[in-house]
Structure 1
Amino acid sequence: MGSIAPTPDKEKKLKAAGIKVTQYRAYIRRKGFASLSKTFKTRTEAKEWLRNNEATVLLEKKSKGSGTTFAKLAELFAAAPPMKGTRYWDAGHLDFWIEQLGPLHLNEVTHGEINAALAVLQTRPAMRATSSGPKPTGKLLSPATINRHLATLSAVMNFALKRGMIEAHPMKAGKVEKLTEGNGRKRVLTDEEVTRLLAAAEGSRWPMMPLFLRMLLTTAARKSEVLHLRWEHVNLAESVAILHETKNGRARALPLVSDVRAALEQASKVRPINSDYVFFDPKHPAQPKNVDTIWRFVRQRAGLLKDRDDPLDQVVLHTTRHSAITKMLKGGANLTQAAVVSGHQTLAMLKRYEHLAAQDAVELAERLLGNKSA
């Protein structure tokens, strides 16, 4: 804090010498910093010095940082109960921000620092789960994945803002912009294509392939979630399988339809003693099966290997997830119900599936409303 006061001692000495002069001393005192002071002949000079040096001290204070670090904030955020209004966050995404911003004090976590970290994130490779751990896919993180990272950071800063740990959210007012996301894969399997794929799976050399594919089609689960399913997580009596390790870090239950449940019951009777995985590798029972080669064979035999020019229209294993979600929505399920099955954390992440059922709405309107004679 700055102040200005006359200097009475010098004034008395000057008066004794017959000289009438008033001098002013300016003071700057800030907690954690050495006090500054200087004497001036006029109050105007003292005020100018005060303005200039107060700004310098304030900048020095900001440059040194103060208060809680981002790493500590992230720790508090992860340990706290879910906060109202926090729609999405991911532990893996939080780790990235701790890596990039962890040592910074909260007043140093500016939009500039965040955008710099964002630039680093855009150079990171996309990873896929394998039996020996995550491996690069050869592609960079998608805009959608990067935006999920930003959503996690925004949730952390909201947490800090609501607790008075920061004065302003550094990502708001367009200071940190989300990336433009593409429409993603558009392919949805028809009933006839599903029949062809299941028939081709029956002809594969791996006897568990038909069950693996059927589970994907009836649970809307991800490839890695089904491949890493363990017998201890399968409850045949309740017709559910519990996923403890999912992409978003939260457990959820997979519904087991009757034919899948029956097939699992048969598989449980002949499972190897030295394997916990439902879909184990016969050559290495302690590991889940690598299905890439077999899946290629199934698509080829079903006539669905690169059957369209647009890569986003081609059939991949994730197409089964798109198809299952779309089938639920077409069948009358709402977004909330579909999210319970698919494991999406926010309804906004499911919104992009709604347009896939738009053709049904057109057909319904044509059949029920388009008859002019009605």
Structure 2
Amino acid sequence: MGSITVTKKIDSATGKVVTSYRAFIRRQVNGKPVSKSKVFPTKTSAKDWLRENESDAALQQLGRTRGPTFADLIEDFVKAPPVRGTKFWSASHLEFWREQFGCMKTGEISRGDINAAVARLQNKPAMRRAHEGVKETGQTVTPATVNRYLASLSSVFNYAINHEIIDVHPLKAGKVKKLKESGGRRRILTPAEEDRLYEAAREARWPMMWLFLRIFLTTGARKSEVLKLRWKDINLDESVAVIPKTKNDDPRALPLVTDVKTALLEAQKVRPLGSDFVFFDPRRPERPKPVEETWKAVRQRAGLLNDRDDPLDRVYLHTTRHTVATKLLKKGANIAQTANITGHKTLAMLKRYTHLAAADAVDLAQKLLVDDERGEA
């Protein structure tokens, strides 16, 4: 017999009540209990699934699967030491997959199940972190985000393969295809545009805006890294700011160039007693500064606010990170040196942000492959 249970819970990110319907099938097949379940957003879809899966043939196939439930597999996975193929995962990603497949046996999760879950994931609201908590952006998750969810799922199945829980990886061999991702933001600031931004930053009402921008353009740091920077992380004697935990969960040292050190010394003299943040909110010193409106005004004053039709070609704070990485490579730094400054974890990620122009590639080829060859001759 099949049954449907209703679950209601409050989404911690949105505060909304989310209703889900879990369909269960329980039978005795060849003298042993066999069960199958799946979660749906509507009762109608749960009923349709029950009709399609209550046949003895479907349950006979289920009876031959093996392994723990997917929820139990996840519990074992997160406790296990990471090895090759299981290192990438996110707790929020795994929670989504637990909701989709938690009560299913690991061996019964099929390509169709995963593709159906991906379709639901594509309609999931994209979220962003703000000072007051996590908020919806008004958009759905990007293809890149979906692919990161799939990467976390793949790590779990790699763990199951390594421990002989399953024989076939349901995501491999093209069974579940990754979504095509955007090429990413392409804008690189020119020296003239940097100068205009610096000038506009000096004219901003917030006196720390120039220093804020200067740190971005001399370190390639992420927005969250700079906003969360605390005075205890600053070591002016060593000319570094040490970030204990980055987006990649690794510590990172930001280089502090001479004029940044000078500006930090001046800022340190007027820091409020109630805050350890370098870039504090003047109204609430115990919090980081909300910079969105100030940064918007700076771009507008510099003539760089929505100055191009394609959103990927417009100037954002992340454009500074892209600019720094590209400038370092163009001026002779190698990939390892660039990654050491910008904090990119992998070569593949760094390549997404560094697009040398064709002319630059020609110049490099001429200098490194032709002129040097002639010199050796």
Q: Answer whether TM exceeds 0.5 for this pair.
A: yes
Equivalence for 2:214: 214
Deviations 1:264-312 (A, max 9, x none): 2332232111112211110111221111111111111112122222222
Equivalence for 1:197: 197
1:299 to 2:278 alignment = no
Equivalence for 1:276: 276
User: 1:129·1:224 contact (CA, 8 Å) conserved in 2?
Assistant: no
Q: 1:251 to 1:146 in 2, by over 3 A?
A: farther
Segments of 5+ residues of structure 1 without an aligned counterpart are: 1-28, 35-53
Matches within 5 A, 1:192-341: 192-341=192-341
Equivalence for 1:165: 165
User: 2:241·2:253 contact (CA, 8 Å) conserved in 1?
Assistant: yes
Q: 1:350 to 1:269 in 2, by over 3 A?
A: same
Quick one: distance in 2 between partners of 1:104 and 1:253? 44
Q: 1:352 to 1:133 in 2, by over 3 A?
A: same
Q: 1:104 to 1:252 in 2, by over 3 A?
A: farther
Q: 1:158 to 1:225 in 2, by over 3 A?
A: same
- Output the amino acid matched with 1:194: E
User: 2:66·2:165 contact (CA, 8 Å) conserved in 1?
Assistant: no
Deviation at 1:116, TM superposition (A): 1.9
TM-score by length of 1: 0.77
Quick one: distance in 2 between partners of 1:57 and 1:88? 34
Identity of aligned residues (%): 56
1:112 to 2:112 alignment = yes
- RMSD over aligned CA atoms reads 2.9
Deviations 1:77-123 (A, max 9, x none): 33333312446333333333233333332113222222122112211
User: 1:325·1:338 contact (CA, 8 Å) conserved in 2?
Assistant: yes
Alignment size in residue pairs: 324
Quick one: distance in 1 between partners of 2:302 and 2:177? 43
Quick one: distance in 1 between partners of 2:365 and 2:250? 40
Quick one: distance in 2 between partners of 1:269 and 1:165? 61
Quick one: distance in 1 between partners of 2:178 and 2:270? 50
Segments of 5+ residues of structure 2 without an aligned counterpart are: 1-28, 35-55
Quick one: distance in 1 between partners of 2:201 and 2:98? 44
Matches within 5 A, 1:1-374: 32=32, 58-62=60-64, 66-86=66-86, 88-365=88-365
Quick one: distance in 2 between partners of 1:147 and 1:106? 21
Quick one: distance in 1 between partners of 2:67 and 2:85? 25
Quick one: distance in 1 between partners of 2:92 and 2:249? 8
Q: 1:143 to 1:75 in 2, by over 3 A?
A: same
Q: 1:108 to 1:261 in 2, by over 3 A?
A: farther
User: 1:231·1:276 contact (CA, 8 Å) conserved in 2?
Assistant: yes
Quick one: distance in 2 between partners of 1:280 and 1:360? 40
Quick one: distance in 1 between partners of 2:338 and 2:59? 57
Quick one: distance in 1 between partners of 2:184 and 2:159? 31
Deviations 1:14-64 (A, max 9, x none): xxxxxxxxxxxxxxx968469xxxxxxxxxxxxxxxxxxx978742525xx
Indicate the SS of the match to 2:158: helix
